[in-house]
Structure 1
Amino acid sequence: MPVTRLFPTDEGHDLIELTREICDKELRPKVDEAERAAAEGEAFPTDIFRTLGRAGLLSLAHPEEYGGGGQPYETYLQVVEEIGAAWMSVAVGVSVHSLTAWPVTTYGTDEQKAALLPGMLSGEQLGAYALSEPLAGSDVGSMTTRATRSDEGDGTAYAIKGRKAWISHAGHADYYTTFARTSDDAGRGISCFIVPAGSDAMSFGQPEKKMGLHCDTVREVIFDGVPVEGANRIGDEGQGMAIALAALDAGRLGIAAAATGLAQSALDVAAAYAKERQQFGRAIASNQGLAFLLADMDVAVSGARAAYLHAARLKDAGRPFSREAAVAKLLATDAAMKVTTDAVQVLGGAGYTADFPVERMFREAKVTQIFEGTNQIQRLVISRHVLR
């Protein structure tokens, strides 16, 4: 069932119609086959990202003057939700790509914006966000990847050495928004860099064998002295922790929107099945117990949507939204897990088979409670705000 949407500008309605058209023509017909193929061997939907990019859907929340869409975050997130309802791996990729350009948009100099953003926002490039490490996930401050000043040239360049883990788009990205230690100062020891792909000193681990989101290729990125120009350091040296944490607030809203779309899609499948499936001479939807289950699923989806939109409106208004982003991420991803679980239950044995998409959606939902900060971390963020 198409979701009725409200936008702060009239342009939002046209963007949603465009998104729905692309989802119906390009994403939904391919998602199941592509996810199965990727589970058996690496397959990455480059063509899909190119299609979305050329339609302007990879850069909606970034400035128009550099090739972005200039749209409110509220509009961008509703587009992400629509994509999440069609193909969750791609929605996650859209959120990740937007996240990779966010440090440049927010902290970059005018010269850096002019040099980097047109490519990032062109639709022809895809970014990766290299923050997590094998021993530094939730504890970002313990990262060991290091950027050392180069002895060559004017001394402004760096060489990056270390390993990043769980990196979406690794091996397929055109650039890597990378966080590396530039000093041992606990509070200001990390800096942010835009690292172009293609260096011989950059290599990749084997793709992770995951429960779901098979088309979201995730693997280690290994930096073995990768050279980076000083002009590609975003913000001041030592400002990386603040940039990373602020970026994650925005990124969590992208995941919340994608998870809401996933949950909405599972609800739609379950409701359609319940109206068609006959038992004891009538549709199973006529049983009050099952109808109430569907109602609870709808409440969960609606609550998730309201939470991420509230946070987005605060962000668009220039007001603090860190707590609200954590609330939205927690609510939406827990809702996705609950709704996809219940959708499998509504379909019964059929829901446990790959013949119906709710089996895939169930597997995809789980990781949303883990990445972009586990839901336990979200509770920590929320509790700190409550106790201030």
Structure 2
Amino acid sequence: MTDYLATGNLPDDYRQLAASVADFARTVVAPVSAEHDAQHSFPYEVVAGMAEMGLFGLPFPEEYGGMGGDYFALCLAIEELAKVDQSVAITLEAGVSLGAMPIHRFGTDAQKGEWLPALTSGRQLAAFGLTEPGAGSDAGGTRTRAVLDGDHWVIDGSKQFITNSGTDITALITVTAVTGVGPDGGKEISTIVVPAQTPGLTVEPAYDKVGWKASDTHPLTLTDVHVPEANLLGERGRGYANFLRILDEGRIAIAALAVGAAQGCVDASVAYATQREAFGRPIAANQGIAFKIARMEARAHVARTAYYDAAALLLAGKPFKKQASIAKLVASEAAMDNARDATQIHGGYGFMNDYPVARHYRDSKILEIGEGTSEVQLMLIARTLGL
């Protein structure tokens, strides 16, 4: 991929995918975004359309119903969706990189055969149950426990801020849980697949969020939840390490989402500034406005280059942790800064929910928090420098 990183000339298959998703975002997603945002309703009809396009199967092999593509293809699709609706984009991102990907990366052949076909088709969604009330950035502070009783795991605990966990098509939640004591005397953390309808799993009422209002997000309570021993995902005691790998990959996808949001703000600002007149001329003729939009475009371009770079390393099988953190950091900041500038350019209209930039302004802040805060990214980058 590095041969076209510098030029920006993507191969035809990538360009065609991006163009197809862009058209879908413009004609299907955009017309219903404001309504779903206002009603806090999950866009089932949009998700069904994405499923029909094969977006949920992009990075998975065809033997499990996937499209046989790669992680970069997924990122391109997420970027195009995020230009018009971050809630839709995060539904795809979480459903694939956090929901289905752990099954693909760490599941047994039996687990892959059981779960992946429905997930890659988009008929069902999976969720990633990591964060807890006392374990956010400090994921090692996990308190949820799983005890092996005969041939079943018995799980008790709680999770919070879990995306795609309460929809009508949610099939499973993969949860981290303390399953014993590790060799170093610390917590042995494992990952276990909990089917959505398992007795004892309670999906609590949805959050009233500042943004991403059409995205499904719930706290979860697990009380005496029994699942088969075979639902252990990956090696016992490797759950924390495995989810760190999933988060590293996910940061590239979140960066792509943030780039889409940043570019969406640029596109909306260009359209508005060339049409809106003040003092007898378009406001785009004012250097203060033109320069502000130019800086927004520069932010989006730099952030896009950063996530392309991280994705190239991932696909090449090379270390990418630092580059993923850099991409996530600069892209989320670009999205937030561009949303702020776009709102300012739109003036009073930018404060009205009728305009997409208002949603971007509310939606973008979580990009600096979710899947590792900006402070966590700085910590990870600093560690690679020996600091």
> Counterpart in 2 of 1:279?
278
User: Normalising by structure 1, what TM-score?
Assistant: 0.93
SS at match of 2:380: helix
Alpha-carbon separation, structure 1, partners of 2:191 and 2:83? 32
> Counterpart in 2 of 1:324?
323
Structure 1 residue 220 displacement after superposition: 0.8
> Counterpart in 1 of 2:199?
200
> Counterpart in 2 of 1:72?
70
- The answer (yes or no) to whether the contact 2:34–2:354 under 8 Å persists in 1 is no
Deviations 1:88-130 (A, max 9, x none): 0011111111121112211222332223222221210111111
Alpha-carbon separation, structure 2, partners of 1:121 and 1:263? 28
Alpha-carbon separation, structure 1, partners of 2:106 and 2:356? 41
- The answer (yes or no) to whether the contact 1:188–1:239 under 8 Å persists in 2 is no
- The answer (yes or no) to whether the contact 1:202–1:221 under 8 Å persists in 2 is yes
> Counterpart in 2 of 1:7?
10
Letter in 1 for 2:18: I
- The answer (yes or no) to whether the contact 1:252–1:326 under 8 Å persists in 2 is yes
> Counterpart in 1 of 2:337?
338
User: Of 157, 163, 185, which residue of structure 1 is paired with 2:152?
Assistant: 157
Alpha-carbon separation, structure 2, partners of 1:17 and 1:288? 32
Structure 1 residue 204 displacement after superposition: 2.0
SS at match of 1:14: helix
> Counterpart in 1 of 2:89?
91
Change (3 A) 1:6 1:222: farther
Structure 1 residue 6 displacement after superposition: 3.9
Alpha-carbon separation, structure 2, partners of 1:63 and 1:334? 34
SS at match of 1:177: strand
Structure 1 residue 188 displacement after superposition: 5.6
> Counterpart in 2 of 1:229?
228
> Counterpart in 2 of 1:19?
21
- The answer (yes or no) to whether the contact 1:131–1:164 under 8 Å persists in 2 is yes
Letter in 2 for 1:179: T
Describe how 1:240-259 pairs up with structure 2 within 5 A.
240-259=239-258
Q: State the Cα RMSD in Å.
A: 1.6
Alpha-carbon separation, structure 1, partners of 2:47 and 2:278? 43
Structure 1 residue 5 displacement after superposition: 6.3
SS at match of 2:214: coil
SS at match of 2:121: coil
- The answer (yes or no) to whether the contact 2:95–2:164 under 8 Å persists in 1 is no
SS at match of 1:12: helix
**2:172 is equivalent to residue 175 of structure 1:** yes
Alpha-carbon separation, structure 1, partners of 2:261 and 2:186? 37
> Counterpart in 2 of 1:116?
115
- The answer (yes or no) to whether the contact 1:148–1:182 under 8 Å persists in 2 is yes
Describe how 1:306-317 pairs up with structure 2 within 5 A.
306-317=305-316
SS at match of 1:387: coil
- The answer (yes or no) to whether the contact 2:251–2:324 under 8 Å persists in 1 is yes
- The answer (yes or no) to whether the contact 2:155–2:225 under 8 Å persists in 1 is yes
Structure 1 residue 280 displacement after superposition: 1.8
Deviations 1:248-280 (A, max 9, x none): 011111111111111111111111111111122
Deviations 1:213-252 (A, max 9, x none): 1111222111112222222211111010111100001111
Letter in 2 for 1:183: G
Alpha-carbon separation, structure 1, partners of 2:141 and 2:320? 26
Q: Percent same amino acid among aligned pairs?
A: 38
Structure 1 residue 18 displacement after superposition: 2.5
Alpha-carbon separation, structure 1, partners of 2:187 and 2:317? 25
Letter in 1 for 2:109: D
Deviations 1:258-305 (A, max 9, x none): 111111111111111111111222111111121111110000000111
